[in-house]
Structure 1
Amino acid sequence: MERLTYDVGLDLLMVQWDNPTMTLTADAKKRVVIPGAAPGDVFACEQSDNAVILRRVYREAPRKRLTREQALKAIRSWKSLRGVKWEELRKMTREP
């Protein structure tokens, strides 16, 4: 355990922290088990001369698709073109 000592006025402040290290051993197929990792987790591997650093890659969760009822409700509540007839909408959206 490492310690840092700071001189703070008349008092002496000691800060302690635990820096745990972990040794992982690869099997015959070059696999290691990473504590805290779940199936499907993605890691970016950074290699230097004598070290390998794995960083977890976080991705946004995919958005759920709307159900048919939700889509129809959204279309009905769309206020942009209320009262526009189909023919008028075709004229507005098609090139002359």
Structure 2
Amino acid sequence: MERLTYDVGLDLLMVQWDNPTMTLTADAKKRVVIPGAAPGDVFACEQSDNAVILRRIYREAPRKRLTREQALKAIRSWKSLRGVKWEELRKMTREP
């Protein structure tokens, strides 16, 4: 067990943590069960001479699509195209 000591004013703060070592055994299909992992989690695998390190990759949740009403409201309130009507914008952005 490792221990850190921090000097906080007049008191000393002792912090302890347990860093357990785990042994994982692969099955016939080279699979292992990682405690704390959930279905869909993504890990980056780093291999060195005698070690394999898995690092969890956190990704942002995908944004929800706007509804038609929300998209039209956003287009109407877009400040850089105040004088352009929707039909004119369509003509400008479509190929001839």
- Normalising to structure 1: TM-score of the pair? 0.68
List gaps (5 residues or longer) in structure 1. Answer: none
List gaps (5 residues or longer) in structure 2. Answer: none
Query: How far is 1:39 from its partner?
Result: 1.0
- Residues 51 and 71 from structure 1, CA distance in 2 versus in 1: closer, same or farther, beyond 3 angstroms? same
Provide the identity percentage.
Answer: 99
- Normalising to structure 2: TM-score of the pair? 0.68
Structure 1 vs Structure 2 CA RMSD: 4.3
Count of aligned positions: 96
CA deviation profile, 1:38-76 (whole Å, cap 9, x unmatched): 111111111111111000111222121111010111112
Which residue pairs with 1:18 in the alignment?
A: 18
CA distance in 1, matches of 2:91, 2:67: 30
CA distance in 2, matches of 1:88, 1:7: 68
Query: How far is 1:37 from its partner?
Result: 0.8
- Residues 73 and 27 from structure 1, CA distance in 2 versus in 1: closer, same or farther, beyond 3 angstroms? same
Structure number, greater radius of gyration? 1
